[in-house]
Structure formats: structure tokens, C-alpha cells
Amino acid sequence: MKSMRYVWIILLLLTLYVLYSYNYQKTVGMRLHFLHDNILSTFFALTRTIQSSFPGQIKDKEKLVRLLTADELAQYSTLEDGLYLAILGQVYDVTKGKKHYGPGGAYRAFVGRDASLAFVTGDFTDEGLTDDVSSLTPSQIKSLHDWGQFYAKDYVYKGKLVGRYFDSNGNPTKQYQMVQEKLALADMEKSDEEQKKRMFPPCNIEWKPEVGTRVWCTKRSGGIERNWIGVPRMLYEAGSEQYRCTCVNLRSKEYETHKGSLREYEGCAEGATNCLIPNSEQVG
């Protein structure tokens, strides 16, 4: 009732303002601007007062997020109650995907729980359907994060699961921070990998049973555009016996720095951009 009184006061003030402006605009001159400023100030003050009268309705979005326990989440596993799942502690309503998440669906095992690990491993045993992802590498955590992005985009967000990743107040736990750290590390590794591919782009590779494998370089080989062509070389990763075919700019600083990790293909001329590798020799 108190809020309705404010509304009526505002309507009265606005009505007086309109009438005053219409009838006396030409006679009051500068006083109109004074009245205008005062009415607007009163309007905004009353608006703030009304807002403060409803503290339970005007809250930060985060404070309105629902917190579910594992038992509560487990209840959302039927078409009647809804189909919910959690990934890294974030809960989504996947009912609209009942074809996949309903009884007999391919992703039925994810419903009513947080089975984050299985999104990466594909292990749907009791041990595999767990939210413990501490065994995953940074790149695997990145894949799991991408799954989370998919659900955030295509399904309705319902809240947080109290447990491994969020406490009873909805605050992140140490396990949540661990995931974020691995995710940041994955981004760094991806950046390093992209930088390495720019320094040493993959070769073009073609295999024909009658002649063997051909490796060659162009200004766009490996899908990386550049202003140099390069020559095919075997690039060995640190501590590994495996290698990949890369295009190397023999005049670059990168070549001088990484000479020890590069090998020439047998029978391939030093400056050749196109080499034929016999069938007996493996091409990475």
C-alpha cells in the first residue's frame, strides 16, 4: 500500500507539470525551467524511495541463483519433474532435449547428477560418472569447459550444485579454483602451440602407394599464411622420438634457435621446397 501512495504522488506531480507547462509556458519564462528541474529531482527521489521499499525484489542477479544439493538435483530425472544435469557444478535444464536425455537417450547417464569426468573420458561406469576431474590435463579441462559453454548457450541455466565446486553459500571452492587454474594453463599452452605453428607451419603431405610420400611447402601450407615458403624438415618435440613435418625458413632466427630439433629428410636437397620420401621412411 505504501508503494501505491508513491505512485499516486508521482502521477499527481506529472499531471501538474503538464498542465503548468501547457497553460503558463509563455508567461512564467525562466521559472518554468526552475520548476522543471525541481519536479524531475522529486521524481527521481521518489523512484529511489520506491525501489528501496522492495529490497527483496531488486537484487543482484548472482544472489538470485538457486543452490541445489545433490539429492535435490537427483529429483530432476523424469519428464514430469524436468531433466536437469550439472557440469562443473553448474546446473542446466535439458528437458527440451528429452530425445537425448530422457529414458533410453544416449546422454541419459548425465541426468540428475554432475558427471563432469564422463564428458571427457566416456566412462559411464559408477566410478566414471563423477564430478571429480582432478585427473584431467589442462587440455582436457578445456574440452570440458567447451561442453559447459555448449550447455550455457543451448539450455536454461538453473543454478549451482552445492558440493565439490560451490559451498552452501554458492561461493567457489578450492576445487573450482583448481579447474580455473588448469583452464588458464590450457589457454597458455594453446597460445604457445599457435605461436609454434606460426614459427614452424605444418607441411603439405600427399601419399601415393606407387611412389611414396610427397611433402612440400607453400606460403599457405598448414593453413598459415605468411610471406615465405620454407623447406620441409622433421621437427622433433623435446623429449620425444616422434616428429612432424614442418616448413622452415632457413633465414629466420627461429631456425637458428631450434636447429637441434630439426632433421633433413633423406634424399631431399637442402633448399628444396618439394621432396619425395620413399615408402620405407616414415613421415610425421
- Tens of pLDDT along 19-35? 555 454 444 444 444 44
Give dist(CA 31, CA 36) in Å, integer. 8
Instruction: Flag whether pLDDT at 193 surpasses 50.
Output: yes
| Choice among 60-64, 156-160, 171-175 with the minimum mean pLDDT | 60-64
Q: pLDDT tier at 270 (50, 70, 90 boundaries)?
A: confident
| Choice among 49-53, 132-136, 234-238, 277-281 with the minimum mean pLDDT | 49-53
User: C-alpha cell of 267?
Assistant: 634424399
Other CB atoms within 10 A of residue 188 CB: 11
Residue given cell 552445492 in the structure block: 162
Phi, psi angle pair for 279, to nearest 5°:
-60, -25
pLDDT digit string, tens, across residues 253-263? 888 988 888 99
Q: What is the mean pLDDT of residues 273-283?
A: 71
Q: What is the mean pLDDT of residues 39-52?
A: 46
Any idea which fold 66-188 has? Flavocytochrome B2; Chain A, domain 1 (3.10.120)
Q: pLDDT tier at 95 (50, 70, 90 boundaries)?
A: very high
Of 282, 249, 66, 20, nearest in space to 166 by CA: 66
Whether the full predicted model's pTM is greater than 0.75, yes or no, is no
| Choice among 150-159, 194-203, 226-235 with the minimum mean pLDDT | 194-203
Instruction: Flag whether pLDDT at 92 surpasses 70.
Output: yes
Higher pLDDT among residues 3 and 170, named by residue: 170
135 conformational bin, left if phi > 0, alpha if psi -120 to 50, beta if neither:
alpha
